[in-house]
Amino acid sequence: MDQIKQVAIVGGVHGNEFSGIYLIRHYQQQPQWITRSSFQCQTIWANPEAHHANKRYLHSDLNRQFKTADLANPNLSNYEQSRAKVLNQQLGPKGNAKTDLLIDLHNTTSNMGACLILTQAGPFYNQLAAYVKMQMPEAIISRDEDHIAAQDHALMCTLGRYGVLVEVGPQPQSVLRHDVMDLMHRMTQHILDFVQLYNTNTVPNLPKQTEAFRYLTSIKLPVNEQGERLGMVHKNVQDKDYHPIHRGDPLFSLFDGGVIYYEGENTVYPTFINEAAYYDNNLAMSLNEKVIIELP
C-alpha cells in the first residue's frame, strides 16, 4: 500500500511572496499544526537571499530550475541554480526522492483565491483534489501540464515523489494579507489531513466528479516592433480569473484607444491575469479549459 512518510512544506521559493514564508515560520513556532501520526513533516525556506533583497529571485527564477537534466548540469551555477541543487540533495534526489510529498506555497497578484495546482496525474492527485474541493468548496483545482513527465517539469514541487503547489491571491508582491494567509493555512491543513486519511486507509467517500481547470496556453501583452507595450489587460477581464472568455470578449485596452478582442472559437478560462511577476516576459494571462476529475 502506498504510504506517504515524509512531507516537506516549502515557503519562499519566490522572495517577495510573503504568505508562505510567514506560514512556515508560524508552523515552526507551533508545530502541532503540521503534526499527524502517520508521517513526518518538515518546513523549508527555499530562497532566503531573494527575500532579504525583497525580490522574486536574485539571478534566475528558482521555480524554473528543477528539470532533472538541469539539476545534473554543473554549468548552471548561479544562486538559484545552486539553491536548486542543494534542495535536490536535501529533499530529493528527483526521481528517487526521500520526500514523498512536497507542498510548495506561493502567492499571485492575480485574483485566483486558493488554488491547488497539480503538475502530475494519478489516483493520489485525483483523490486529493476531490477531498480539498469537498472540504473547501471555494478552492480551485488546476491541472498544469500534467501530461509532461516529472523529470521534464521545471517546478520545484516536481522534486518530491508527489508534489503540489498552493497558489493564493490576490496579494501584491512584498505584502502580507491576513485573508490570504488564512486561505493558504486552510488549504495546507486540508492537504495534511488528506495525507493522514490516505495513509490510514480512512479516506471518506469523495465526490465522483470534481471541477478543475486545465492549462492550454499563455497570451502576451500587445507590443510594437521595438518591444514596447501598446496596451494593458482590459478592465472587463481584470480580476476575473476562472470566468469564461467567449469569442468577441475584450482582452486588451490599447493606449491609442483601441481594443483587442478574443478571437478563439472555444470558450476559455483565464488564470494569472495581469500577474506582476510575468511582466518580464510580457505574459498577460494563461488560458484554460474546464475539465472534470473523475474518481472510479
Which residues contact a second copy (rule: CB under 8 A)? Answer: 22, 25-26, 29-30, 109, 170, 172-179, 181-182, 229, 232-235, 238, 253, 255-256, 274, 276, 279
Note the residue count of the chain.
Answer: 296
CB closer to a second copy out of 265 and 280? 280
CB of 112 to a second copy, least distance (A): 13
Residue with cell 516529472: 150
Cis peptide before 137 (omega within 30 of 0): no
CB closer to a second copy out of 128 and 233? 233
CB of 223 to a second copy, least distance (A): 13
CB contact set of 32 (below 8 Å; sequence gap of 6+): none
Q: How far is CA 259 from each of CA 5, 144, 167, 264, rounded to the nearest angstrom?
A: 53, 29, 30, 16
Q: Which three cell numbers stand for residue 84?
A: 536548486
Q: Among 281, 168, 282, which residue's Cα sits nearest to residue 233? A: 282
CB of 238 to a second copy, least distance (A): 6
CB closer to a second copy out of 99 and 110? 110
CB contact set of 179 (below 8 Å; sequence gap of 6+): none
CB closer to a second copy out of 22 and 45? 22
Eight-state DSSP code of residue 43: E
Q: Which three cell numbers stand for residue 181?
A: 494567509
CB of 29 to a second copy, least distance (A): 7
CB of 256 to a second copy, least distance (A): 8
CB closer to a second copy out of 72 and 276? 276
Residues linked to residue 53 through DSSP beta bridges, in sequence order:
none
CB closer to a second copy out of 182 and 193? 182
| Phi, psi of 79, deg, nearest 5 | -60, -55
CB of 11 to a second copy, least distance (A): 14
CB closer to a second copy out of 98 and 243? 243
CB closer to a second copy out of 195 and 237? 237
Instruction: Give the angle subtended at the CA of 211 by the CAs of 156 and 244, to the nearest 5°.
Output: 95
Contacts of 198-203 with C-beta under 8 Å, sequence gap 24+, read 198/2, 198/4, 198/124, 198/127, 198/128, 199/3, 199/4, 199/38, 199/39, 200/38, 201/1, 203/127, 203/131
CB of 232 to a second copy, least distance (A): 5
Q: Among 85, 269, 277, which residue's Cα sits nearest to residue 167? A: 277
Rounded Cα distance between 14 and 67, Å, is 18
CB of 225 to a second copy, least distance (A): 16
